[in-house]
Structure 1
């Protein structure tokens, strides 16, 4: 009698469950999300050159046409156009041209006084300034325009009548005290500026465009230690203010005023 023995089958152990498999999917998701944000950032960038380089590099990595295209560094280095800056530049150019034409007309109108050294026309960052020595406009220590000066100022008013720019009239004196009906140089300089403004208004210049300012002796253009310097400081400046100020330095169009050394 034979006895057959069966070998017992060894049971297979079940593979242990991997609880960290989700990290693989999570890592893939984070990688895709990062790539998405990189693409969105590149698209939102204004610099076209950098966008093209990124696009070519991405195409190269994916085996596309970008692998055979070299980045255009010239496009990368081109400045980004600024529409607002371009518009302001054009406005400044037109305004500067307009102010230059006005300065030329004023100098032509005041040519006799310019030639005598009593009037100076300048174009600066504020606009166009006509500096008139007080001896041309007023008697010493007075604020009433002389008959001769009214003709010259009316010619200036004719040019300014149809011009849209604001006009500021500034009165200046020397540092010598006044001895008349005015309490100080503040009153004298202010009344002189107001007198010129009143003449402009009577000549047809819109009042809302005009401003009268008295500076007394606080803005001298020469030394007050001698009669010649004090004579230069006694003046009235009519400034046509630029609508678009230009930061350029002042460019005189006529030599400095050299008036006779007379009183206030």
Structure 2
């Protein structure tokens, strides 16, 4: 061959060799090599043995998620749900027994407040719980026993002075009524460490003491299941 032809041939081979060297291959699922990616080498450990996968990516993700703290959930959240369930159960009892005029529920900042009108719980001027109210008080006891939240029991009266040999003022009457409910809870399974009571007498009215209807509203016992 002429030297010019040899030179052209060498240039052609060099170009083909350069092009083929930049063409990448990878191993397909059947073991054959397929154009597209560089050869993959097995990963080996310290002893030169091939490492085996320890689990799928989904399994690893699930394990990682279990180790992470759950966002947006706390013990307080669970207790709050329990308080709302308590309120639902009590409301169902009130409606089933037509007690809307005698019992009411209020979600206040400190907890769930159950208000009992005195006429359904006590005789006038007395701290003895009426027999007819015992089934409802039993139901209240059963529902609040599901939680371990602290409970405050408040006694309230209207502003009319009391005149009997047992109570010298509305302070004593309101405190005795609150204590009567507390003792009922204690005697029926509520942990006494959860309980405390107070008597406010006539000094925390929710209505003016100017009509019989308003005075009736002021005579009440509040059972407050406190938030934690």
Task: Compute the TM-score of the two structures, normalised by the length of structure 2.
Answer: 0.65
Match of 1:168 in 2: 152
Shift of 1:94: 3.1
Asked whether the 8 Å contact 2:82–2:147 carries over to 1, the reply is no
Match of 1:134 in 2: 118
Match of 1:118 in 2: 102
Match of 2:7 in 1: none
Q: What are the equivalent positions in structure 2 for 1:82-161 lying under 5 Å apart?
A: 90-112=74-96, 115-161=99-145
Structure ranking higher in strand proportion:
2
Give unmatched runs, 5+ long, in structure 2. Answer: 1-69
Give the one of 198, 203, 214 matched to 1:218: 203
Task: Compute the TM-score of the two structures, normalised by the length of structure 1.
Answer: 0.56
Shift of 1:161: 2.0
Give unmatched runs, 5+ long, in structure 1. Answer: 1-85, 244-264
Shift of 1:105: 1.1
**What's the Cα RMSD here?**
1.9
Post-superposition CA distance 1:83-106 (Å, at most 9, x none): xxx989744433332211111111
Q: What are the equivalent positions in structure 2 for 1:1-264 lying under 5 Å apart?
A: 90-112=74-96, 115-180=99-164, 181-243=166-228
Match of 1:32 in 2: none
User: What is the aligned residue count?
Assistant: 158
1:238 partner SS: strand
Structure ranking higher in helix proportion:
1
Higher relative contact order (CA 8 A, sep 6+): 1
